[in-house]
């Protein structure tokens, strides 16, 4: 637990921290192996967190399935756990603190940060949470190291009455708050959410909190039923061909004011544009595949004046808002967790998250 020249005082490191740990290591396209690796050593200004829970995100699945990044890496960025070591110079955190940690933190003072485009900040693109290898979150491991800028500005204290599973939702809830804001969802509008997985359900619930009437679309009956139980106004099976008609019935024939796309397929944009009214908005949330190409009718934008918007990652100035919605249970995130797995069952967890069946929604790892 020490770097050359760094000796941690006993009061700043838990005696139970071992030299090695178990981690799910990405070894190339489609390959994740649970291995024994060194526990990350921390330096001045850094914090070591014993991971208690880490949600599996669609972005993790894409990186693994398509091999978008170089191996080896340890993924997992929806992280919560307990502080077990603090480096010299850290005063904000102490041993035993219950926390969640972001993996990206913007500088706060550049051109992009001044315009609230935090995910475009050069500093934001540098990952500051790692379990080893090339930093990429690291939550699919027993311990993660929070680098100085993350320890200072990218961690949130978790109350005793909030489970680590719930706390792991702060990052994805943040990303959804940002998306709903960018889509300008407003009271009295009709919003359509395409895809009612964990992210789609969060987008739908947040749109309801803004005062919108929300129509969900998903081929899985269990997900449609879940959306209704969470307060969504109406849910439709897109395979039945009734979605456009249902929207028009509820909007005096105009179409949706805003469509939030939470399914990662290229054809979704064309479908979303057809559902939006003239002058309406379409927000792409799941289209972050660097190789995906999308075609759409130009007249939808150039003549009908529909807007195509994108939203990627979190907005750090919404971290407290995301935490509050979870800590007050205004967003019932715990109800979205249907499966949890140990790290040793990582293969089963990834398969279920990538190909959901029945009532499966959020899959959480307990390292």
Tens of pLDDT along the chain (367 residues) come to 444 446 666 668 877 899 999 999 999 999 999 999 999 999 999 999 999 999 999 999 999 999 989 999 999 999 999 999 999 999 999 999 999 999 999 999 999 999 999 999 999 999 999 999 999 999 999 999 999 999 999 999 999 999 999 999 999 999 999 999 999 999 999 999 999 999 999 999 999 999 999 999 999 999 999 999 999 999 999 999 999 999 999 999 999 999 999 999 999 999 999 999 999 999 999 998 888 899 999 999 999 999 999 999 999 999 999 999 999 999 999 999 999 999 999 999 999 999 999 999 999 999 9
Q: Cα separation of 316 and 324, whole Å?
A: 14
For residue 164, what is the enclosing H or E element? helix 164-167
What is the homologous superfamily of the domain 184-310 according to CATH?
NAD(P)-binding Rossmann-like Domain (3.40.50.720)
Is residue 350 helix, strand or coil?
helix
Q: Cα separation of 253 and 249, whole Å?
A: 6
Residues present in the chain in total: 367
| Fold match between domain 10-172+315-366 and domain 184-310 | no
Axis-axis angle for helices 58-66, 346-354 (nearest 10): 100
DSSP 8-state class, residue 52: E
DSSP 8-state class, residue 167: H
Domain ranges of the chain: 10-172+315-366, 184-310
What is the homologous superfamily of the domain 10-172+315-366 according to CATH?
Medium-chain alcohol dehydrogenases, catalytic domain (3.90.180.10)
Half-sphere exposure of 327 (CA within 13 A, CB side): 14
Q: pTM to 2 decimals?
A: 0.95
Axis-axis angle for helices 198-209, 170-182 (nearest 10): 60
Strands 256-261, 234-236: pairing kind: unpaired
């Amino acid at each position: 637990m020490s770097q050359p020249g760094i000796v941690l005082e006993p009061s700043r490191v838990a005696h139970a921290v071992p030299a090695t740990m178990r981690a799910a290591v990405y070894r190339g396209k489609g390959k994740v192996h649970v291995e024994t690796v060194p526990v990350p050593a921390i330096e001045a200004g850094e914090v070591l967190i014993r991971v208690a829970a880490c949600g599996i995100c669609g972005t993790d699945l894409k990186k693994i399935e398509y091999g978008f990044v170089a191996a080896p890496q340890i993924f997992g960025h929806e992280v919560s756990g307990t502080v077990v070591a603090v480096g010299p110079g850290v005063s904000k955190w102490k041993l035993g603190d219950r926390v969640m940690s972001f993996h990206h933190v913007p500088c706060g003072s550049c051109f992009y940060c001044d315009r609230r485009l935090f995910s475009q900040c050069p500093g934001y693109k540098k990952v500051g949470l790692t379990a080893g290898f090339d930093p990429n979150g690291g939550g699919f491991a027993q311990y993660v190291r929070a680098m100085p800028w993350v320890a200072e500005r990218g961690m949130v204290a978790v109350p005793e009455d909030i489970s680590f599973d719930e706390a792991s939702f702060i990052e994805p809830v943040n990303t959804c708050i940002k998306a709903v804001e960018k889509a300008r969802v407003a009271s009295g509008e009709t919003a359509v959410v395409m895809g009612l997985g964990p992210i789609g359900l969060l987008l739908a619930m947040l749109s309801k909190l803004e005062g919108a009437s929300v129509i969900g679309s998903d081929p899985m009956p269990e997900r449609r039923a879940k959306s209704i139980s969470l307060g969504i106004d109406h849910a439709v099976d897109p395979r039945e061909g009734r979605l456009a008609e249902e929207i028009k019935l509820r909007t005096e024939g105009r179409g949706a004011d805003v469509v939030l796309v939470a399914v990662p397929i290229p054809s979704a944009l064309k479908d979303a544009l057809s559902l939006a009214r003239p002058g309406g908005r379409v927000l792409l949330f799941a289209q972050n595949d660097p190789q995906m190409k999308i075609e759409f009718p130009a007249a939808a934008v150039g003549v009908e004046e529909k807007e195509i918007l994108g939203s990627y990652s979190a907005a750090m100035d919404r971290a407290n808002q995301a935490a509050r919605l979870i800590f007050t249970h205004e967003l019932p995130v715990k109800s979205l967790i249907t499966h949890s797995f140990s790290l040793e069952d990582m293969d089963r967890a990834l398969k279920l998250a990538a190909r959901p069946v029945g009532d499966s929604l959020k899959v959480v790892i307990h390292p």
